[in-house]
Structure 1
Amino acid sequence: MFLNKKTHNFFTFFNKFTQKTSKTVFNWIATSDGYKMPKKYHFIFWAGYFLINFIRWGSYFDDYVYSLKSNLVEFFIHIPITYFHIYYLIPKFVLKKKLPLYLITAILTLAVAYIVRTELNLLLVTSNIWPEAIGTQKAYSFNHIVAVTIGEVYVVALATAIKLTMDWIAERKKNSQLKQLQLKTELKYLKSQIQPHFFFNTLNNLYYLTIEKSDKASDVVLKLSEIMQYVLYDVKEPKIGLLNEINYIESYLELERLRHGEKVNSEIQIRGNIDDISIPPLLLLPFIENCFKHGSKNNEEVRLDIHFENEKNEHLIFKAKNNFNSDYADDKKRGIGIENVRRRLELLYKNKYSLETKVIDNTFNVLLKIPIL
């Protein structure tokens, strides 16, 4: 079956218009900011929307040829107008808060779209410009202008809403990723601060022993090498077993005993099952260091009690108590240990943890409660 001249002209125009429009549209998309949706999703959206309209109006008029031709004209006006709005008008005017210019350009665009659509329908589709209307309606009548304009605004608004929603989701995801990266970077920085902080304190101990020409210096070096494995390698993991942390706390206590001898009196108590509990590495060791900083100055004995408790498999409770030299309260060089841990707790647990440090009867007390994850 051969096509009549009018139909042939329609499809010739449609083919040329499609090629030019597609090239322009994809240039807009390629040079735009924000989330770039893959081209296949653009095609799926427009193809699906076209199919729905084609079936709807074909069924309504019982004339699928008319529905095909009219929708081809309308959609290939919808598409450039929609992308022009999304990728040019919004970035050019709305985002720069030039709303009067945006409104003027949008109204002019809708006016041009109405004229082009109406003339193409009259030229290529039908002389009955508005067959779904009651009675005979003419082109460029008020009602026809309003109806066509509302239809165009509906399509543009729908596509714009989808694009802005996708941009918002992409921006939110990007911000979340940046926030996580910032969190990891800060945690890594805080952790890296603890490592030299710990070695600085331990090397101080070694320094005192070498000045005294103590035979214990070699033992300190050996014990230090064991702990280095933890501080340099194990801490690379985001979490380690609580039992491992306790083992290294005991190793640190051994180091302090090598320096202070029988002066150190410590006890570790464990309540509940802690085998499967994991915590961030180097989270508790600064508290133990702090105990010696508080308790070893001008004291004949360093008393240290450490307590771990699994509270209903929901929270880990850590307590540390040591004798306290009140002269330390005036010492301005308090180090970075405790503040470092407090910041890490804020980053890791937000408002789901509690940390209290206080002095009661010349005893320094630490109470930490964190969730078991």
Structure 2
Amino acid sequence: MQQATPQIRDKRAIDLLFESRYKVLRHIMLWVILLGIIFFSNWLKEYIGTVKLLRLLCVHISFIAMFYINMYVLVPRFFFRGQYALYFLFLLLLVSLGLFLMSGVLTKYLDPLRLAEVRQQAADDTGFYEGIIIVMPIILMTTAFSLFERWKTDNQRITELSNLTLSMELSELRNQINPHFLFNMLNGIKALVRSNPEKATMVIMKLSEFLRYQLYENNEPGTPLRSEIKFLSNFMDLEKLRRDNLSVNITSMADPKLLGTLLIPPNLFTTFAENAVKHSVDISDSPSYICMSVEVKGERLEFTCRNSRSVDYVAPREGSSGLGLPNIKRRLSLLYGTDYRLDISTTEKEYTVILNIPI
């Protein structure tokens, strides 16, 4: 049987201290520790009598009462609300009242019996100031524990809220990609319906297959690299049906096994493919090209997209409906933080995008 690693042991210790499912166990451990203190205090001071045991038990029960009142009343009611002056005032009153009541019980009920049993030990009483010295560290430890427990709970809530917000924002960004893509495709089909109805029918059929993939893959957190490359290939096939002068080349430089097992966020390259289509349009109907490659370099994945660029063509500016590059940049930032590189360069005849991400 394998032994637990130090990290696992540390996690178990932290869970035992702060997880709600161990709450009852923590209280039982507290009582056991206090009973141990009672036993050893009695043994070390050589007080064997039953009355002395009752005396110590009374003292520690009083401390436990102050322990719980501080932890479940004073700390949440005053300390957590920033009312520190009131907290320390009521804490002082709690300790004073607790010690006063404890002293009264001991004096009235136990001291006469103790004095009758062991008269020579009459001077050995727990005084008021000695009681403060004993109880204050316990009270302050409960305050520190409550504060740390509150911090841990709040931190968990903040983390959960951040993850939920991140998930919702990523979902929204993914959902924005599809309408943007559809807007471009439907505009192209609209033109084909008038000029070439037969080709328009083929485009619609291809588009239905394309959207079927989108429906099932886009909602997953990750899709195989091979599927994403196939997705790009289908996308380019749609474009070639609309444009006779478009040449497309898609290559992958990676282990075939890795293509099926490596997962990446769905539609990660779609925006770049859309931009390549947009920038490769040549108003003179000259041949245009789009070249895309996917390469695995150690622990990194590099996607490159190059496309021809017409000197006379001015691509539409990204406006209210232009969700492409700002969208994908925001998505990359959410997914990878700063651990990615996106280089976009433009020359007179070519537009190039290089995306490098961790895998």
Q: Which TM-score band applies after superposition, normalised by the shorter structure? A: 0.7 to 0.9
Given that residues 282 and 288 in structure 2 are in contact (C-alpha distance below 8 angstroms), is that contact kept between their aligned partners in structure 1?
no
2:264: which partner in 1?
279
1:311 alignment partner, one of 297, 303, 317: 297
Measured at CA, do residues 68 and 181 of structure 1 come closer, stay the same or move farther in structure 2, by a change above 3 Å? Answer: farther
Q: Distance in 1 between matches of 2:49 and 2:202?
A: 93
In structure 2, which of residues 324, 329, 335 is the aligned counterpart of residue 342 of structure 1?
329
Counterpart in the other structure of 1:116: 101
Q: Tell me the CA shift for residue 155 of structure 1.
A: 1.5
Note if contact 1:317-1:368 (Cα within 8 Å) is conserved in structure 2. Answer: yes
C-alpha distance in structure 1 between counterparts of 2:97 and 2:20, whole Å: 28
Match of 2:135 in 1: 152
> Is the contact between residue 57 and residue 64 of structure 1 (CA under 8 Å) also seen in structure 2?
no
For residues 315-343 of structure 1, what are the alpha-carbon distances to aligned partners after superposition, in whole Å with 9 as ceiling and x for unaligned?
A: 00000011234653673437112222111
Aligned to 1:8: none
Q: Deviations over 1:96-130 (max 9, x none)?
A: 3333322222222211111111122223333679x
Distance 1:66 1:157 in 2: 30
Could you tell me whether the CA contact under 8 Å between 2:75 and 2:146 is conserved in 1?
Answer: no
Written as runs of structure 1 = structure 2, the 5 A alignment for 1:287-302 is 287-298=272-283, 300-302=286-288
In 1, Cα distance between equivalents of 2:57 and 2:300:
65
With structure 1 as the length reference, what TM-score do the two structures score? 0.80
Name the SS of the counterpart of 1:91 in structure 2: helix
Match of 2:185, SS state, is: helix
Q: Deviations over 1:131-165 (max 9, x none)?
A: 9xx994667xxxx3322102111121222322322
Structure 2 residue aligned with 1:59: 43
| Correspondence 1:29-40 to 2 at 5 A | 40=24
1:17 paired residue number = none
CA contact (8 A) 1:54 1:64 kept: no
- Does the 8 Å contact 1:58/1:65 carry over to 2? no
Structure 2: tracts of 5 or more residues without a match = 1-17
CA distance, structure 2, for counterparts of residue 294 and residue 135 of structure 1: 98
* 3-state SS of paired residue (1:236): coil
Q: 1:328 maps to which residue?
A: 314
Corresponding residue of 2:15: none
Q: Do the aligned residues in 2 keep the contact of 1:308 with 1:319 (CA within 8 Å)?
A: yes
Q: Distance in 1 between matches of 2:343 and 2:49?
A: 76
The aligned amino acid for 2:184 is: N
Map 1:64-213 onto structure 2 (within 5 A).
Answer: 65-66=50-51, 68-126=53-111, 136=123, 144-213=127-196
Relative to structure 1, the CA distance from residue 321 to residue 87 in structure 2 (aligned partners, 3 Å threshold; closer, same or farther) is same
User: TM-score normalized by structure 2?
Assistant: 0.83
Distance 1:247 1:109 in 2: 72
- Spell out the pairing of 1:253-264 with structure 2 (5 A cutoff): 253-261=236-244, 263-264=245-246
- TM superposition outliers: structure 1 runs of 4+ over 4 Å: 34-39
Is the 1:295–1:325 contact (alpha carbons within 8 Å) kept by the matching residues of 2? Answer: yes
Of residues 351-360 and 163-172 in structure 1, the stretch that sits farther from structure 2 once superposed is 163-172
Where does the alignment leave 5 or more consecutive residues of structure 1 unmatched? 1-33
* Corresponding residue SS for 2:306: strand
What is the percent sequence identity of the aligned residues? 26
Q: Deviation digits for residues 281-320 of structure 1, max 9, x if unmatched?
A: 01111110111111115252321111111102x0000000
**Residues 243 and 39 of structure 1, relative CA distance in 2, 3 Å threshold:** closer
Alignment partner for residue 267 of structure 1, among 249, 262, 270? 249
More deviation in 331-340 or 200-209? 331-340
**Structure 2 counterpart of 1:19:** none
C-alpha contact 1:54 1:67 (8 A) present in aligned 2: no
* Cα RMSD, aligned residues only: 2.6
Q: Give the Cα separation in 2 of the matches to 1:121 and 1:105.
A: 24
Count of residues paired in the alignment: 330
